[in-house]
Amino acid sequence: MGEGAAGMGPRGVGGGAGGWSGGGADGLSGRGAGRWSGAGAERGGVPTVETIAVRAGVSIASVSRVLNGHGARPDTVTRVERAAAELGYVPNAVARSLKGGRTMQVTFAMSDIGNPAYVSMVREIQAVMKAAGYRLLLHSTDADVEDELAVLRSLADRTSDGLVLCPIRITPRHLDALARAARPVVVIGSLPGTPPHGPPVDSVRTDSVTGAEAAVRHLIDTGRRRIAFVNGPADTVPGHNRALGYHTALEAGGLAPDPELITTTDFTVEAGAAALHGLLDARPDIDAVFCANDQLALGSSQTLHARGRSIPDDVAVAGMDDTVLARAGWPPLTSVDLGSAERGRTAAHMLLDRLREPTGIPRAPARREIVMPRLVVRASSAPAAGAV
């Protein structure tokens, strides 16, 4: 729990001056004129510790103490609290941060908030952080490496106390930036090396290789033989891992990989739909499609429907991520739950642990967590009518 952090004092917006939209004309010369210009403490403007101090007839130090529950004479407490309530005093969080060195904000950066897998991460991270008294700063990098690096670098501007980063791929520059990050960072994804040797940052990843393998094995086990594969960009970590899992399962199942059955494209519904058209044109005998994520699987399903192929009778379909989309499709999509929500939650907790570490020198060694994938079988991959 965030100790007294986010304004927990006995405050309230009780009877303060009209808000930003209120008309209040205060000709104070202290600072600019307008409503929220922060005029001096004399009369107009936003109340500060000084305003309260004057009103309560105590020093600003006492105001601060009372507001932070640092004990004071009952009498003093009462007067300060009353003054604060009457003026609708709200402490300036920026000033507090400057003094305390903490902003009670953390950043979550991923490539695109439109992706359901990220949505569940955001959701969990926000919930955990909120409970701990932190606010969540969201940053979409549009899968731009420069932007990711910029986020890492901007950690030095003191805007947030830590970062959860979900990079689309890890480059040497990422490793460098991670090593010199000004604040604790937790990476959602695979980092190279093993803790003593790898980059000194905590991370949570899923075992998508195993996940992909499980899905493909399932397709094979249910009688499919000509299993197409619609993958995302091969130079991304997710793309690479899924390909690995696909090939491993194929091999284990005694099936020869066939380049004609494999397409590499973007992680979107449209790309999936297009990919399947190409695949079906080249190999009309496909009896299953394994897709690197649910969007691709949905796109594939649409093409199958559009071309009159029955799912799962003619062609089985399986996706990955088990997002809300998997249950939205028809038939409901078999998918691999890669634990996006759990990864988000875990990452958030790891970051909180770092944030709670005392400033005293020795820092705990980097942690690596792995969330195991879980195959979720739904109707889209039921055994074909005349299957094994």
Partner DNA sequence: GTGAAAGCGCTAACAA
Partner DNA sequence: TTGTTAGCGCTTTCAC
Task: Give the x-and-dash track for 59-98 against DNA (CB under 7 A).
Answer: xxxxxxx-xx-xxxx-xx------------x-xx--xx-x
Nearest to 68 by CA among 96, 41, 44, 47: 96
Q: What b/e sequence results for 260-290 when a residue is b if at least 16 CB atoms lie within 10 Å of its CB, and e otherwise?
A: ebbbbbebbbebbbbbbeebbeeeeebbbbb
List binders of a second copy among 197-236 (CB under 8 A).
Answer: 197, 199-201
29 binds DNA (CB under 7 A): no
List binders of a second copy among 34-93 (CB under 8 A).
Answer: 34-38, 46, 88, 90-93
Residue among 156 and 252 whose Cβ is closer to DNA: 156
62 binds, among a second copy, DNA, none (CB under 5 to 8 A by kind): DNA
Residue among 113 and 244 whose Cβ is closer to a second copy: 113
Beta strands 288-291 and 262-264 are unpaired
Residue among 258 and 314 whose Cβ is closer to a second copy: 314
| Helices vs. strands in the chain: H and E counts, helices first | 13, 12
Q: What b/e sequence results for 182-206 when a residue is b if at least 16 CB atoms lie within 10 Å of its CB, and e otherwise?
A: ebbbbbbbbbeeeeeebbebbbbbb
Quick check: 341 and 124 in contact, CB under 8 A?
yes
**One-letter identity of residue 125:** I
Nearest to 301 by CA among 380, 248, 236: 380
Instruction: Mention every residue, 6+ apart, whose C-beta is less than 8 A from residue 284.
Output: none
According to CB under 7 A, which one of 18, 20, 99, 259 is a site residue for DNA?
99
256 binds, among a second copy, DNA, none (CB under 5 to 8 A by kind): none
Piece of the chain touching a second copy by CB under 8 A; list 31-39, 72-80, 234-242, 342-350: 31-39
Residue among 150 and 244 whose Cβ is closer to a second copy: 150
Residue among 31 and 43 whose Cβ is closer to DNA: 31
List binders of a second copy among 99-118 (CB under 8 A).
Answer: 101, 103, 105, 112-114, 116
367 binds a second copy (CB under 8 A): no
Beta strands 335-337 and 374-376 are antiparallel
Q: What stretches of 212-371 adopt beta strand conformation (E)?
A: 227-231, 262-264, 288-291, 316-318, 335-337, 368-371
Find the shortest distance in angstroms from Cβ 41 to DNA: 7
Q: How far apart are CA 54 and CA 83, in angstroms?
A: 9
Residue among 42 and 251 whose Cβ is closer to DNA: 42
Which stretches of the chain bind DNA, using CB under 7 A? 30-31, 38, 40-41, 45-46, 48-50, 57-65, 67-68, 70-73, 75-76, 89, 91-92, 95-96, 98-100
